């Protein structure tokens, strides 16, 4: 059935909903300081605003395939948007931190159903010849959202207040809800959904929710030196093992893990983990480096990331169109994308204290183009062998893995930066002594600087040693971030030969499912 103009309204609808979720996953990060002041919260308390949303979202991403089958695609998608929008209103009107945390959890429950459901709607709606361009437009929302979130959040915080970070969701939520009920229809072919498996749901919440909390709070709590982290780790391990056992032992599971028996889907899911790892880790460390080491403002950092996001946005439709022409296998597009992301990381591994905005421009453009080359081909490769009725479950599983990849990336890189900085600081500090002529000369210069400002000799000497220590620490941080980029790049370089695992029968985009017109 030819869908005509309506199918592009479907693209607008699901992309709007996807942007709500992806932007909100990062937009609040730059508003936390203002929230702390307005709500009288500590840093530990306010961090649950981020952790609660991420944990709830991860659990619901996993549940989204089953809920789509149980409630109907349109009903579940619309319900998720409505819940997300209403929770946004209450987040903005919160008067204390725990009220805000509660409604952020509710918002995460709504947001978790948006991304994977949106992707399955596109794949089941569009014919093969149009699926590439549709996925391209959708992919723009998925990839660009985390990049523009901090920029948008910083601008709103500087010019309005933190409350408006949530209020801006309201008009877009209303629009997406209206378009959903008007244009999105149910597929003719549906998968059976069993009764709610409450044991599986409890185990899922313990496993995925617990793992998300561990990764978000581990660095803050000093990892396994904390009884809280140890307790959460035990709960997460029991939950994950129990959930996997439960899903493999029931006839109609919440999450069909048997899909991982298909080689391409399993390998593609692994690559989605790496994609999430690299995307979120790089989005995390670049703003931190620019603001803490180079002294950029939040707005300057946001503008720094914008050209790369635009490059991704421009690349998505091009790749989508090329996939529709079947010139070459999607494997080769993904391979080029992984190599370009490695090139971006390798380039930034030479970063130094003299780096300005121009230094980041071309590496971020390369990263943006690479992301555009990876996302759509990877989606095509991963879901190519699935039946149409399995696509919602497949999208849910890959979405959950990509989300966990992002959380793992942020947590691992945060810990790596902390430990590696101490390593470099110790190595550099060994060279600062009275027996090293260069360090003696530098301390003498610092001392003379403070003497010229009127300080006494003892005070000037003390300040000089303090400045020397600060210089060592800054240099250690630069070396650490350079190492961090290499580590992230290594993950993407390893993926290139692993793409050979996809080689086999011809890869085709999933066939679309005819829609029931009402």
Tokens 């985009």 -> residue: 509
Distance CA(430)–CA(434), nearest Å, equals: 11
CA dihedral in degrees (324, 325, 327, 330; nearest 10)? 0
pLDDT number for residue 357: 82
Structure tokens at 402: 């990509």
Tokens 């409604």 -> residue: 103
Q: Which of 106, 97, 15 is nearest to 317 (CA)?
A: 15
Point out which residues pair with 187 in neighbouring strands: 515
Structure tokens at 168: 């801006």
- Three-class SS state of 161: coil
pLDDT number for residue 511: 45
pLDDT number for residue 365: 92
pLDDT number for residue 56: 82
Tokens 């006839």 -> residue: 251
Tokens 């600060």 -> residue: 470
Q: Which of 52, 78, 59, 92 is nearest to 404 (CA)?
A: 59
**How confident is the chain (518 residues) per 10-residue block, as mean pLDDT?**
64 80 74 77 73 80 78 85 92 88 90 78 69 66 68 75 85 87 73 70 84 77 83 90 86 80 83 82 78 75 78 80 75 88 91 85 90 82 76 77 80 82 82 66 72 74 73 85 90 80 55 36
Q: Which of 138, 7, 14 is nearest to 517 (CA)?
A: 7
Distance CA(54)–CA(326), nearest Å, equals: 37
pLDDT number for residue 152: 76
Residue count of the chain: 518
- For residues 44 and 99, is the Cβ–Cβ distance under 8 A? no
Distance CA(506)–CA(500), nearest Å, equals: 13
DSSP, res 186? -
């Amino acid at each position: 059935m030819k869908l005509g103009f309506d199918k592009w309204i479907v693209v607008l609808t699901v992309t709007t909903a996807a942007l709500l979720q992806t932007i909100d996953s990062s937009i609040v990060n730059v508003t936390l300081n203002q929230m702390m002041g307005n709500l009288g919260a500590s840093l530990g308390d306010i961090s649950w605003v981020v952790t609660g949303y991420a944990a709830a979202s991860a659990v619901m991403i996993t549940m989204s395939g089953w809920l789509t089958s149980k409630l109907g695609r349109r009903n579940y998608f619309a319900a998720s948007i409505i819940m997300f929008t209403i929770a946004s209103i209450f987040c903005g009107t919160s008067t204390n931190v725990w009220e805000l945390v509660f409604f952020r959890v509710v918002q995460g429950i709504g947001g978790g159903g948006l991304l994977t459901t949106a992707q399955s709607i596109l794949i089941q709606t569009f014919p093969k010849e149009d699926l590439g361009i549709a996925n391209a437009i959708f992919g723009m929302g998925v990839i660009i959202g985390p990049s523009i979130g901090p920029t948008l959040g910083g601008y709103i915080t500087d010019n309005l207040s933190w409350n408006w970070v949530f209020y801006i969701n309201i008009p877009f939520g209303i629009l997406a809800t209206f378009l959903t009920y008007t244009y999105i229809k149910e597929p003719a072919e549906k998968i059976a959904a069993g009764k709610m498996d409450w044991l599986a749901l409890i185990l899922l919440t313990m496993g995925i929710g617990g793992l998300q909390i561990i990764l978000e709070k581990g660095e803050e709590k000093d990892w396994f030196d904390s009884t809280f982290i140890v307790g959460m780790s035990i709960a997460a391990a029991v939950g994950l093992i129990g959930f996997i056992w439960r899903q493999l032992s029931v006839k109609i599971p919440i999450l069909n893990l048997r899909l991982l028996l298909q080689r391409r889907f399993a390998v593609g899911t692994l690559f989605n983990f790496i994609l999430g790892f690299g995307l979120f880790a790089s989005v995390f460390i670049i703003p931190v480096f620019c603001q803490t080491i180079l002294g950029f403002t939040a707005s300057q950092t946001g503008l720094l990331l914008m050209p790369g996001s635009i490059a991704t946005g421009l690349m998505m439709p091009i790749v989508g169109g090329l996939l529709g022409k079947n010139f070459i296998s999607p494997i080769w597009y993904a391979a080029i994308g992984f190599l370009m992301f490695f090139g971006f990381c390798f380039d930034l591994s030479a970063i130094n204290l003299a780096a300005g905005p121009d230094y980041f421009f071309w590496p971020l453009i390369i990263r943006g183009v690479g992301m555009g080359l990876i996302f759509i081909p990877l989606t095509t490769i991963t879901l190519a062998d699935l039946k149409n009725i399995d696509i919602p479950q497949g999208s849910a599983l890959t979405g959950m893995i990509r989300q966990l990849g992002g959380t793992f990336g942020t947590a691992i890189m945060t810990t790596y930066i902390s430990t590696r900085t101490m390593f470099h600081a110790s190595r550099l500090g060994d060279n600062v002594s009275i027996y090293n002529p260069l360090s003696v000369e530098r301390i003498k210069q610092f001392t003379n600087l403070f003497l010229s400002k009127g300080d006494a000799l003892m005070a000037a000497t003390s300040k000089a040693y303090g400045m020397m220590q600060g210089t060592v620490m800054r240099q250690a941080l630069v070396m650490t971030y350079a190492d961090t980029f290499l580590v992230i790049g290594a993950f993407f370089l390893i993926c290139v030969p692993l793409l050979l695992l996809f080689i086999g029968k011809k890869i085709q985009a999933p066939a679309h499912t005819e829609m029931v017109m009402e």
